[in-house]
Amino acid sequence: MKRTSGVLAVVVTFAATAIAAQAEEFRLGLLTPPPHIWTKAAEAFGAELAEKSGDAHSVAVFPARQLGNEAEMLQQLQTGALDMAFMTVAEVSNRATDLGAFYAPYLANDIAHAGRILRSDTAKALLEPLPGQVGVVGLGYGMAGLRQIVSRGEVESAADLTGLKLRITPFTPILDFYNALGAAPTPMPLPAVYDALANGQVDAIDMDAELIWVLKYYEHADTVIQSDHMMFPMVGLVSARVWADLSEEDRAMIGELMAKHVDGTIDSYVAKEAGWLEQIKDTGKAFRKVDASFFGGAVDDWNAIWSEKAPSLDALRTVAAETK
């Protein structure tokens, strides 16, 4: 009897140790501020992971660049110092050039079309090389709104953007676009943008409707141009090193839940984008809605550069045509 209970105690202790070893608090980093749709999605992912794992796992969310800018967070993911991130595809495309295909100007006709492109198997297949190329596992896409332009001065035609210091997210496809246009693209991470526009460090910014409205960038502008010129995908990432140490069961649970919550951001932008644009219009700032013709030869120039750089561009164009 005594011997049996001793064995039992050892078994129980061993099992408890095994469970404790698997239980984990994951750290998830983002650039976006606490009220942003991406940050809310990260928190919802963490809450559902805790629930579905019976509180074995939890997620500590670090918004607003608390763990560094996206380039730094990507490095931390590579070494395993950071477990997870919801990150702009823009940043990942600095290491995996083919992802630059998403930024083909006017690939998507509107925000819902952008969502359909991102939900395609072709788009999903672009995540497959990431563990080998970048050291991260991409579990699914989300998005922010289509890109617009906010300018401190009057802008009636693209010629008025010539030579302007125009803030861009730091990644090559957008740099190539504004260089082709003759502007002076100025790479700057999101948290620095408000002050830079307010104090005139930049003349204009490339931004989405949500942030133009919610972070009040329009307050420091004379003109808002609704150009809808590019989509802006996000990707849910796990460090490949961290992923390698997870059980099959945990991979399945984390994979499914992260994909679900990043995908949910697509629905949010499709539902809300038009409302933000209406509210921006109602501010009384000069508001121009333009199409690809506004940018003259810059769209063709971009296509010429990126059809060489991004082999997946043709496949994404096929998906775009099929999902119109």
Smaller CB distance to ligand BEZ: residue 99 or 253? Answer: 99
Residue 47: which residues within 8 A CB-CB, separation 6 or more? none
Is residue 265 close enough to count as binding ligand BEZ by CB under 6 A?
no
User: How far is residue 5 from each of residues 13, 14, 15, 18, 322, measured CA to CA in Å?
Assistant: 12, 14, 15, 20, 66
User: Least distance to ligand BEZ from the beta carbon of 9, Å?
Assistant: 52
User: Least distance to ligand BEZ from the beta carbon of 220, Å?
Assistant: 16
Size of the site for ligand BEZ (CB under 6 A): 9
Is residue 190 close enough to count as binding ligand BEZ by CB under 6 A?
yes
Residue 77: which residues within 8 A CB-CB, separation 6 or more? 83, 84, 85, 135, 136, 237, 238, 239, 240
Tokens of 70: 């996206």
Is residue 88 close enough to count as binding ligand BEZ by CB under 6 A?
yes
CA neighbor of 299 nearest in space, from 181, 170, 134:
181
Range in contact with ligand BEZ (rule: CB under 6 A) among 118-126, 203-211, 246-254, 263-271: 203-211
CA distance 249 to 297: 51
CA distance 322 to 88: 25
Is residue 122 close enough to count as binding ligand BEZ by CB under 6 A?
no
Q: H or E segment at 210?
A: helix 209-214
Smaller CB distance to ligand BEZ: residue 211 or 280? Answer: 211
Site for ligand BEZ in 163-182 (CB under 6 A): 169
Beta strands 84-88 and 136-144, pairing class? unpaired
Is residue 208 close enough to count as binding ligand BEZ by CB under 6 A?
yes
DSSP conformation class of 2 = H
Query: Can you spell out the DSSP letters for 5-26?
Result: HHHHHHHHHHHHHHHHHH-EEE
Q: Which residue's CB comes closest to ligand BEZ?
A: 169
Identified binder of ligand BEZ from the candidate list 28, 32, 149, 316, rule CB under 6 A: 32
User: Least distance to ligand BEZ from the beta carbon of 121, Å?
Assistant: 25
User: Least distance to ligand BEZ from the beta carbon of 117, Å?
Assistant: 18
Identified binder of ligand BEZ from the candidate list 84, 137, 202, 207, rule CB under 6 A: 207
Identified binder of ligand BEZ from the candidate list 26, 29, 31, 172, rule CB under 6 A: 31
DSSP conformation class of 146 = P
Range in contact with ligand BEZ (rule: CB under 6 A) among 75-83, 108-116, 204-212, 287-295: 204-212
- By the 8 A CB rule, do 25 and 60 touch? yes
User: Least distance to ligand BEZ from the beta carbon of 231, Å?
Assistant: 12
Is residue 273 close enough to count as binding ligand BEZ by CB under 6 A?
no
CA neighbor of 145 nearest in space, from 284, 315, 266:
266
Range in contact with ligand BEZ (rule: CB under 6 A) among 6-14, 103-111, 207-215, 239-247: 207-215
User: Least distance to ligand BEZ from the beta carbon of 32, Å?
Assistant: 5
DSSP conformation class of 62 = E
User: Least distance to ligand BEZ from the beta carbon of 56, Å?
Assistant: 31
Give the footprint of ligand BEZ on this chain (CB under 6 A).
31-32, 88, 144, 169, 190, 207-208, 211
